[in-house]
Structure 1
């Protein structure tokens, strides 16, 4: 019997008004014990180290957020309708199910794959993925001080695939 949930989800990520050049795709695939997350993103801004009271730009915070809503809203503070970090088990920041490793870029591009045991694909369908301007510090509560939201994509079922296993 086939599950009503796919084994793979996809989020097409698009930049907002702060960084409209961002484009990318994120695949999430069920594997034994959790999920693999694969990200391929381009158009990220160049790295700038912290100076004085200014935060660095990059590496980039990368999270699942509560709601699958990528409405831009305010142009200087976009994607607020995505809500906060997805945290179904009410953990302190740094251990949210939606906390991902930061994205490092090379000439505006990044490709990364990692394993998480915090969820399966069915758990994240309908949520959003946000790329932030600053690195996540993994300790500031509740969201890691990751800065402005640069890009957003809604996680959707992906049925157009051949099984991997």
Structure 2
């Protein structure tokens, strides 16, 4: 199997600009998606995440691709229109195509890269990425009991819409 090197100086194939809900307006970030022959490299950088106090503060956040196309909702769930996790093969959680590793907050900042072959970039364009307030337990159906949605971004193929 050949190794496919990603050049981070190249433009991503798609991206999403993350914005926090009205309760978490300080959350900002970007998610970049790089298509390779073997899968997709996802690179996430987020600031303004809430910080739990104490030496054992959780500071771990669920992170998923959702099936909905817009970061909108209602008073109870500001991102209700994102729907459920992206799951085109009807798998159980955590085997949805949109299930990604959690974000580990470090004084409000998180950076994560992951390589996945669960989807192609073209499949997720127009969908959303969501950050949840709590960590994903990777067990509870259908979404890992990761709590309320605190930030969201729409995935764009036109990278000038959100990132360079």
TM-score calculated relative to the size of structure 2: 0.85
Are positions 1:33 and 2:38 aligned together? yes
With over 3 angstroms needed to count, the CA separation of the structure-2 counterparts of 1:159 and 1:69, relative to structure 1, is closer
| Within-5 A mapping of 1:82-161 | 82-159=82-159
1:68 aligns with 2:84: no
Q: CA RMSD in A?
A: 1.8
Deviations 1:59-91 (A, max 9, x none): 0000000111101421x4210010011100000
Matched-pair contact (CA < 8 Å) for 1:16–1:72: no
Change (3 A) 1:159 1:15: closer
Quick check: 2:51–2:59 contact (8 Å CA) kept in 1? yes
Q: 1:15 aligns with which of 20, 23, 31?
A: 20
Query: 1:34, 1:120 within 8 Å by CA — same for their partners in 2?
Result: yes
C-alpha spacing 1:57/1:70, structure 2 compared with 1 (3 Å): farther
CA contact (8 A) 2:59 2:104 kept: yes
Distance 1:22 1:159, change over 3 A: closer
What's the offset of the Cα at 1:58? 3.0
Distance 2:122 2:150 in 1: 26
Report the equivalent of 1:42: 47
SS at match of 1:68: coil
Q: Note the alpha carbon deviations across 1:6-48, whole angstroms, 9 max, x for none.
A: 9611100000022110000000110121100000100000035
Task: Give the secondary structure class of the aligned counterpart of 2:134.
Answer: coil
Runs of at least 4 residues of structure 1 off by over 3 A? none
Counterpart in the other structure of 1:3: none
In 2: Cα distance, 1:150 partner to 1:122 partner: 25
**Conserved in 1, the CA contact under 8 Å of 2:17 and 2:154?**
yes
In the alignment, structure 1 segments of 5+ residues that lack a partner are 1-5, 50-55, 161-165
